[in-house]
Structure 1
């Protein structure tokens, strides 16, 4: 549980440092690093997505996820929450607040590490993956803080709440998290990370948060449909 808190704190601290040191980092340098991170994320996402052994399930998961997510307007609701946070934090003049909050939140919670990290910590006592994620998240939060400002800071709270929920539910989920589920869930998550990377490089403007429910489909498929 301590590792989860450290993960959230690393993101918040990285974002704060980015905001503080923003003037010391030229904008063109920050954007170049930001694009480079997006490129690396794309490579990582492709490597993860091709691990799937059921390409049809991956396609259906993404399609079902984005269809339901669009109907529920998940990203729009996140943006509304971001606007509410911006007002509460007296950052009304910060036009980048919502973009930073929504993009970084999705980027740091849809990946397989955000799920497998807390599960490994809860069931195996292994926090290695969470500490690795903390390092990556801290660096990306620093870049977001430098580029977009204080909107990246409250993402640390989002991570703590999300990962603590996974941690608490791990004992209940463990019978469902078979190797097949984990592999396909990771593949679906990596497709979403690829979408984030494309957005970061300015190639697309996908509403990635709308895709997140697609990660539930492999769990349902392997634990209900396959059994029949």
Structure 2
């Protein structure tokens, strides 16, 4: 089954989220401290990913142009509306973070990174799911921690994970045939670095230091692909 790795990844996120929901009853003071700890860890992960860049200018330009595009189409608001629509379809719940916050946070953390791309390509080309299985286990533990404070919205991030990794898996033959390996590696490093900054921004939001509309940075990933191709060509 060519999508085994992606499906496994999705299941670990959903199961991890459900397990994390059993931890939501912890005292508010402890939950606040846990949230700060998660925020700090997310910032550290994001910064570590950013250091993978070999052309930091590409990262900066991608973030800036991505932010302009995101603000222009108001992507953050659209995602929040989607979260509110999903929230309206669910049973009434206690006060806490909205569906959108968990959805956006989970989506960026689980989709951005080299393991998602490399693992999906391995699944498509060699039917080797080891990388995605390992990623799924890591994502499962991460979703337990995230959902204990951010709620059930984390589970819905499994949908874009399946679409993203599944698409790469199906397109892997095309990618390997027409995209040189060094160009692919160049893109992965710069995409990971750009996504790392977004993840660091999420961490700052979780701590409460900022209120950045992180989803509006997402178009920057597409900008990375364009800039990397231009730089590689010249």
TM-score by length of 2: 0.84
Q: 1:44 Cα shift?
A: 2.5
Q: Distance in 2 between matches of 1:94 and 1:169?
A: 42
* In the alignment, structure 1 residue 71 sits paired with structure 2 residue 72: yes
Would the aligned equivalents of 1:82 and 1:102 in 2 still touch at CA under 8 Å? no
What's the counterpart of residue 7 of structure 1? 9
User: What does the per-residue CA deviation read over 1:13-36, in whole Å, with 9 as the maximum and x for residues that have no partner?
Assistant: 11111223422x333334333322
Would the aligned equivalents of 1:35 and 1:200 in 2 still touch at CA under 8 Å? yes
What's the counterpart of residue 45 of structure 1? 46
Q: Distance in 1 between matches of 2:188 and 2:175?
A: 11
Q: Distance in 2 between matches of 1:9 and 1:113?
A: 17
Q: Identify if the C-alpha distance between structure 1 residues 31 and 120 changes in structure 2 by more than 3 Å, giving closer, same or farther.
A: farther
Q: 1:95 Cα shift?
A: 5.3
Would the aligned equivalents of 1:106 and 1:208 in 2 still touch at CA under 8 Å? no
Q: 1:224 Cα shift?
A: 4.1
Secondary structure of 1:22's counterpart equals coil
* In the alignment, structure 1 residue 191 sits paired with structure 2 residue 197: yes
Q: Identify if the C-alpha distance between structure 1 residues 120 and 204 changes in structure 2 by more than 3 Å, giving closer, same or farther.
A: farther
Matches within 5 A, 1:15-30: 15-23=17-25, 25-30=26-31
* In the alignment, structure 1 residue 222 sits paired with structure 2 residue 223: no
What's the counterpart of residue 81 of structure 1? 82
The gaps in structure 2 that reach 5 residues or longer are none
Would the aligned equivalents of 1:16 and 1:142 in 2 still touch at CA under 8 Å? yes
Q: Distance in 2 between matches of 1:191 and 1:159?
A: 19
Q: Identify if the C-alpha distance between structure 1 residues 179 and 192 changes in structure 2 by more than 3 Å, giving closer, same or farther.
A: same
What's the counterpart of residue 166 of structure 2? 164
Q: 1:94 Cα shift?
A: 5.3
User: What does the per-residue CA deviation read over 1:153-202, in whole Å, with 9 as the maximum and x for residues that have no partner?
Assistant: 32223322222122222223333352222221221111111111211222
Secondary structure of 1:69's counterpart equals helix
Q: Distance in 2 between matches of 1:213 and 1:104?
A: 17
Q: 1:64 Cα shift?
A: 0.9
Q: Distance in 2 between matches of 1:121 and 1:31?
A: 39
Would the aligned equivalents of 1:86 and 1:92 in 2 still touch at CA under 8 Å? no
Would the aligned equivalents of 1:10 and 1:156 in 2 still touch at CA under 8 Å? no
Q: Distance in 1 between matches of 2:9 and 2:31?
A: 23
Secondary structure of 1:52's counterpart equals coil
Q: Identify if the C-alpha distance between structure 1 residues 38 and 93 changes in structure 2 by more than 3 Å, giving closer, same or farther.
A: closer
Q: Distance in 1 between matches of 2:66 and 2:89?
A: 31
User: What does the per-residue CA deviation read over 1:37-83, in whole Å, with 9 as the maximum and x for residues that have no partner?
Assistant: 32223223222212222121111111111111111111211111111
User: What does the per-residue CA deviation read over 1:133-161, in whole Å, with 9 as the maximum and x for residues that have no partner?
Assistant: 22332223222322233222322233222
Q: 1:225 Cα shift?
A: 5.5
